[in-house]
Structure 1
Amino acid sequence: MAYFEDLTLYTYEQNPVWGDEITQAYPEALNIGWLDQEQPFPTSTEPPDPLLLRRLLAHTAHPVRLMLGFHQCHLCPHAPEDGARLRIRIGDRELFLDNGEVLVVGREGQAFRAPIMLYHYITVHYYRPPEIFWEALRESVPSAGEQVEAAAHPQRLAWAERLLQSVG
């Protein structure tokens, strides 16, 4: 996976042949959480607000820019020998954290794009995104991923809405 410094302009995988509706909709999106083991990143031993983590999970449930294949966490000491995919379970739903991106758009329209592993990086490797990202997450509106999925899979959108309502 590529490394990009936090709060720099998103430029990853912009391919005019594929067309990228997300990039077209949010051309000023900023990078968050594109970590690399060779680059230092901010950490915190203070656990993040559980309500914000739930909001992040709701966005993670609707990834954008799904890619072929999947990615192992390069920050973990060793990858699973069986090639197991990085995932978490929430109720009866399993979320894979190894393929795609998370899009968070704050009320003022500022967009942030992160690898779908962001939740893993925060909860396992203690990565601390910049405060402006947490503020946008706190105020976030439904992501483009949610809007696209709403048309194709309304029951999944309802699941994410219930999750967001449970956190206030």
Structure 2
Amino acid sequence: MVKYEEMAPYEYFSESVPQGVRAVCVGWLEQGSQFSLGEVDGGFIESLGLICRDYAQMRTRGWHRCELAHQGAGVEYPVTIQVEDDVVSLGGAEVRVVSADGTWLIAPDLVHHYVTEHSYLPPDEFVEAVTARRIAPGV
């Protein structure tokens, strides 16, 4: 994965963002990344799981691996999560939500893994937009 700083202008699939829309990166973590740590509430985790399952965008061919350190035997690939009765594979799409001011906040779907397994604390705007389930329109 290409390194993108937190809240930096989004460039990965820039042609997929409508003209005039401000889009920024959230949670594009890689080995050696410095990131905020903390806890989020269960409502955020539930909403994020549903968004990863139902509204993943910009699907790619193949899977990105989590490059962060793992305890024990590591992690299976692709990374999967349980969302209700469904198993959802992560590492091959993006999560796109809209902040209260209209900015698109774009994260790899692995953001769910980063939050739940690595205690990544996303910016408040992202937590609020995910919890409110304000999904950016698909392309």
Asked if these proteins are the same fold (TM beyond 0.5), I'd say yes
Which SS does the other structure have where 1:113 is aligned?
strand
Which structure has greater strand proportion? 2
Indicate if the aligned counterparts of 1:73 and 1:79 stay in contact, CA closer than 8 A.
no
2:92 aligns with 99
1:37 aligns with 31
Query: Once structures 1 and 2 are overlaid, which stretch shifts more, 115-124 or 34-43?
Result: 34-43
Q: TM-score under structure 2 normalisation?
A: 0.84
Amino acid paired to 1:116: D
Q: Could you tell me how far apart the structure 2 residues matched to 1:100 and 1:132 are?
A: 20
Q: Could you tell me how far apart the structure 2 residues matched to 1:125 and 1:98 are?
A: 15
1:52 aligns with 44
Q: Does 1:65 align with 2:58?
A: yes
Percent identity, please. 28
Q: Which runs of 5+ in 1 are unaligned?
A: 149-168
Q: TM-score under structure 1 normalisation?
A: 0.71
Q: Could you tell me how far apart the structure 1 residues matched to 2:103 and 2:36 are?
A: 21
Indicate if the aligned counterparts of 1:97 and 1:116 stay in contact, CA closer than 8 A.
yes
Aligned residues: 136
Indicate if the aligned counterparts of 1:5 and 1:34 stay in contact, CA closer than 8 A.
yes
Which gives a bigger RCO, structure 1 or 2 (Cα 8 Å, sep 6+)? 2
Q: Could you tell me how far apart the structure 2 residues matched to 1:75 and 1:50 are?
A: 23
Q: Could you tell me how far apart the structure 2 residues matched to 1:93 and 1:76 are?
A: 27
Which structure has greater helix proportion? 1
Which SS does the other structure have where 1:24 is aligned?
coil
